[in-house]
Amino acid sequence: MAVGIFDSGLGGLTVWDAVDRRLPDLPVVYLADSAHAPYGVRTADDIYALTCDATERLFDAGCNLVVLACNTASAAALRRMQESWVPADKRVLGVFVPLIEALTERQWGDNSPPREVAVRHVALFATPATVSSRAFQRELAFRAIGVDVEAQACGGVVDAIEDGDMILAEALVRSHVDALKRKMPDPDAAILGCTHYPLMEECFQSALGQDVRVFSQASLVADSLADYLDRHPDMLGTGEAAFLTTGDAARVSDRATQFLRRQITFQAA
């Protein structure tokens, strides 16, 4: 039995790590589509096709439930997949909703009308494809009113992280935070809307200042998965835990081990 976790590359490991801490006995098949990362500079059609392919591989690996631990795939592909592609006996979940529920102080599944919430000025950092989808603003509008969102497309950050060039990643984060602050000088909250960005969380926090509350997804998604599996224990598939990549398994293993500070061994998908 296993659930699938998917990302274009290494970012979803931040979610995998939180899931592993929250549900240590849950076997997970993690798939990194490293050969096609980054997704954030691709068209919505391209992201849809790649995400369907990757999800199919996870179904084939014995997963009935797949978590898209990738905001870009969740923003650009998930709704279309759920409407017309996901088979009736499988489920595909994204990473947006748990984050927005936390930001808007809602319990899971609270579908009451939108209302005023504590945060007023929110900075969203995400990939270019996530920003242009406006999926975050759409989901937020279902739940909150009076929240001003300023989105910053953080070009280059995912590539730098995938290449292990953390000096470049840090310089890019600081320059994207500067650009955001020129548009919104005093955000009260910031969303790290890409699962790669928690690897740079300290850098975001120090560039934003300690007064800004930084929301990142990993533990929120892990809690929401635990809750989902409590309600749907039948969604555990038949697969066995593994780390799969469409890229160079040795190289991806080295980077993953460096980021999570624990041995992670990928194999070819």
User: Site residues (CB under 6 A) for ligand DGL?
Assistant: 7-9, 11, 37-40, 70-72, 127, 130, 158, 194-196
Give the span between the Cα atoms of 248 and 214, in whole angstroms.
33
Minimum distance of ligand DGL from residue 71's CB (angstroms): 4
How open is the CA angle 214-42-162, to the nearest 5 degrees?
55
Quick check: helix, strand or coil at residue 118? coil
Q: Considering beta carbons, is residue 9 or 237 the nearer one to ligand DGL?
A: 9
Minimum distance of ligand DGL from residue 185's CB (angstroms): 26
Residues 199-235, buried b or exposed e (16+ Cβ, 10 A)?
bbeebbbebbeeebbbbbbbbbbbbbbeebbeeeeeb
Write down the catalytic residue from 63, 154, 194, 203: 194
Question: Quick one: DSSP state of residue 184?
Answer: -
Minimum distance of ligand DGL from residue 118's CB (angstroms): 25
Q: Considering beta carbons, is residue 39 or 59 the nearer one to ligand DGL?
A: 39
Active site annotation includes 63: no
Which residue is listed with tokens 């979803």? 12
Task: Show the tokens assigned to 49.
Answer: 């096709």
Minimum distance of ligand DGL from residue 233's CB (angstroms): 28
Q: Considering beta carbons, is residue 117 or 135 the nearer one to ligand DGL?
A: 135
Minimum distance of ligand DGL from residue 252's CB (angstroms): 14
Q: Considering beta carbons, is residue 3 or 158 the nearer one to ligand DGL?
A: 158
Phi, psi of 70 (to 5 degrees): -145, 115
Q: Considering beta carbons, is residue 9 or 187 the nearer one to ligand DGL?
A: 9
- HSE at residue 191, side-chain half, CA atoms within 13 A, is 34
Helix orientation angle between 96-103 and 135-143, rounded to the nearest 10 degrees: 40
* Alpha helices in 1-43, H assignment, sequence order: 13-22
Minimum distance of ligand DGL from residue 120's CB (angstroms): 25
Q: How far apart are the first and last CA of the chain?
A: 18
Going from the C-alpha of 190 to that of each of 23, 103, 186, 194, 236, the distances in angstroms are 27, 10, 10, 12, 34
Number of C-beta neighbours around residue 109 at 10 A: 9
Say if residues 88 and 8 touch (Cβ distance below 8 Å): no
Active site annotation includes 194: yes
Q: Considering beta carbons, is residue 40 or 98 the nearer one to ligand DGL?
A: 40
- Paired strand residues for 149: 122
So which residues are the catalytic ones?
Answer: 70, 194
